[in-house]
Amino acid sequence: MKRRVVVTGIGAVTPLGNDVDTTWQNILAGKSGVGPLTRLNPDDYSAKVAAEVKDFDVEKYVERKEARKMDRFTHYALAASMMAIEDAKLTIDESNAERIGVWIGSGIGGMETFENQFETFQKRGYRRVSPFFVPMMIPDMATGQVSIYLGAKGVNSCTVTACATGTNSIGDAFKVIQRGDADAMIAGGAEAPITQMSVAGFCANTALSTNPDPEKASRPFDANRDGFVIGEGAGIVILEELEHALKRGATIYAEIVGYGSTGDAHHITAPAPGGEGGVRAMKIALSDGELSPEDVDYINAHGTSTPYNDKYETMAIKEVFGEHAYKLGVSSTKSMTGHLLGAAGGVEAIFSVLAIKDGVMPPTINYDTPDPDCDLDYVANEARKAEVKAVMSNSLGFGGHNATIVFKKYE
């Protein structure tokens, strides 16, 4: 018997707000979190806009002295994890610490730390490089610090699968609980990639939108899309074994029932033609959740606003869902958050469970010019009230990583 797993807590730091409630209200209002690029000099890059976290104060969560020993992606992860634990009303102590784990991924990790410390090395030599350089930079340190600060002593791991990271992390944590290796997991993704080299690299491979209008640059599935808008933040969920959650009277947002993960074996950046790898991930997730395609009401798509991703993901959805593809809602919340890379799947998992809880499908904003290749119902421009019993969330990453998770209303 598979153990049932539910979501009992959520926490987020995003370009739309430094908590879940603010972020979600802005999502439902169709508000864009994209603005002019301010962390860097926009004159140095072809991309002029970014989805930056605003007015975030790490000292609400960590003392300044300790915060200086962490990269920003870890700041975001710690804040979101603390919010999620508080939301779940989950106390971690010696009675349960060994049965509560952490699985938080990051696609890039501490790139800002790397750049700053390399500049110090070049100008002042190796003796002036911080002794905290390596622990600040490595992607697993978000998981490490969350474990340390919250006292979780169970399974402790980190996934790095580019833009599929957050979804893979939640899916892998789900399986840890399902097979009995933990009773609860703190899971999701964190990213702080708005740095000189990260933006330069994405500009160089022409992945980023060069649309200078912040309000319109991120436009998934629209015929005039020209690339993604880079974003930052963290999204964390608390997963719990059902009986463990019920025993302590936890509030249940939704049940996570399915997970699929595949590889394209095709290209380092381009998705496989027709979204073939995504097709398999979605089918595996449905089978794992013992659901038929007709059971799914809404898909939170990867929907990056790049020409090939949106076309191939649409093709993949039609391959998996057949005629039902035209009856369900599909939207890309990246139209509002930008693309948070390794954190995207964590944030979008939160949107997925809130869609179930609140009975609403988030919109795809900036959907103005239909693309003949993208002909599904993208919940254009306005959120839609609807009964949402089951949601699929897709994430697809450089290297051919495909990850899909499925949530359904808890019964």
Per-residue pLDDT, averaged over 191-210, amounts to: 98
Whether 399 contacts 271, CB under 8 Å: no
Whether 17 contacts 251, CB under 8 Å: no
The structure tokens 């490595």 sit at 138
Measured CA distances, 15 to 18, 46, 377 (Å): 8, 21, 25
What sign for the dihedral angle of Cα 205, 207, 213, 214? negative
DSSP string, 126-178: GGGS-TTHHHHHSTTHHHHHHHHHHT--S-EE----GGGHHHHHHHHHHHHHH
Q: How many residues are there in the chain?
A: 411
pLDDT at residue 1, as a whole number: 80
CA 192, CA 372: separation in Å to the nearest integer?
35
Strands (E), 264-400: 298-300, 329-331, 360-361, 384-385, 390-397
- The pTM is what? 0.98
- 3-state secondary structure at position 236: strand
Q: So where are the chain's domains?
A: 1-401
User: According to CATH, what is the number of the domain 1-401?
Assistant: 3.40.47.10
CA 398, CA 251: separation in Å to the nearest integer?
36
pLDDT-above-90 percentage for the chain: 100
Tell me the average pLDDT of the chain.
98
Whether 273 contacts 316, CB under 8 Å: no
393 beta partners: 300, 405
Per-residue pLDDT, averaged over 190-211, amounts to: 98
Per-residue pLDDT, averaged over 68-83, amounts to: 98
CA 196, CA 200: separation in Å to the nearest integer?
6
Other CB atoms within a 10 A radius of the CB of residue 385 amount to: 10
- 3-state secondary structure at position 16: coil
Active site positions, annotated: 163, 302, 339
Per-residue pLDDT, averaged over 13-31, amounts to: 98
Per-residue pLDDT, averaged over 369-385, amounts to: 98
| pLDDT tens per residue, range 221-272 | 999 999 999 999 999 999 999 999 999 999 999 999 999 999 999 999 999 9
DSSP 275: G
| pLDDT tens per residue, range 124-155 | 999 999 999 999 999 999 999 999 999 999 99
Confidence class of residue 113 from pLDDT cuts 50, 70 and 90? very high
- 3-state secondary structure at position 209: coil
pLDDT at residue 180, as a whole number: 97
Per-residue pLDDT, averaged over 191-201, amounts to: 98
pLDDT at residue 230, as a whole number: 98
Per-residue pLDDT, averaged over 327-341, amounts to: 98
Whether 214 contacts 32, CB under 8 Å: yes
